[in-house]
Amino acid sequence: MRVNYEEICPGIRGAVRWFRSRGFNTTDSGDGSHFKEGMECAMEEPMVSIEVSPDSIIQCSHYIDSELREMGIANIKVEASYSPNEPAFILVYGSGLLRLNDVPIFHRVQ
């Protein structure tokens, strides 16, 4: 599915591009600005939600965490959520995601 990056909050746009360039299906994102504006469902911190298969949730979580840390991106948390018979999700959040706006995008085979 193609993403219209102009519809994504500017502060988190680079992070969404980074995840998608690595083959991840991002499903939700925000840079925290809408929380300040009073949007009830918005998180206070920058975040990206990613849908993954239940079979790959642990491997994908470790991959994301290690790649970001290897790049020197601090102040992030990676949380995985799974319920039987439903898609699995990884939530990546924290102010470190904003640093991905300055990272060149390249495609990588997972």
Confidence grade of residue 3 (pLDDT, cut at 50, 70, 90): confident
Averaged pLDDT for residues 66-84:
93
pTM for the structure as a whole:
0.82
CA 87 to chain centre: 16
**In angstroms, what is the C-alpha Rg of the chain?**
13
Residue 109 forms part of a structural domain: no
Q: Please give the pLDDT value at position 9.
A: 80
pLDDT for the residue numbered 41: 57
Tell me how many domains the chain contains: 1
Q: How far apart are CA 38 and CA 93, in angstroms?
A: 19
Q: Are 43 and 30 in contact (CB under 8 A)?
A: yes
Query: Between residues 110 and 72, which one has the greater pLDDT?
Result: 72
**In this structure, is residue 9 part of a structural domain?**
yes
What are the tokens at 67? 């790649």
Write down the pLDDT at residue 108: 47
Q: How far apart are CA 78 and CA 60, in angstroms?
A: 10
The CB density around residue 51, as the number of other CB atoms within 10 Å, is: 13
Residue 86 has pLDDT above 80, yes or no: yes
φ, ψ for residue 29, nearest 5 deg = -160, 160
Structure tokens at 105: 């995008």
Question: Domain limits at 14?
Answer: 5-83+95-102
89 domain-assigned = no
pLDDT digits (tens, 9 = 90+) for 14-50: 999 999 999 999 998 887 655 455 555 555 788 999 9
Residue 79 β-bridge partners? 91
Read off the tokens for 50.
Answer: 């990613």
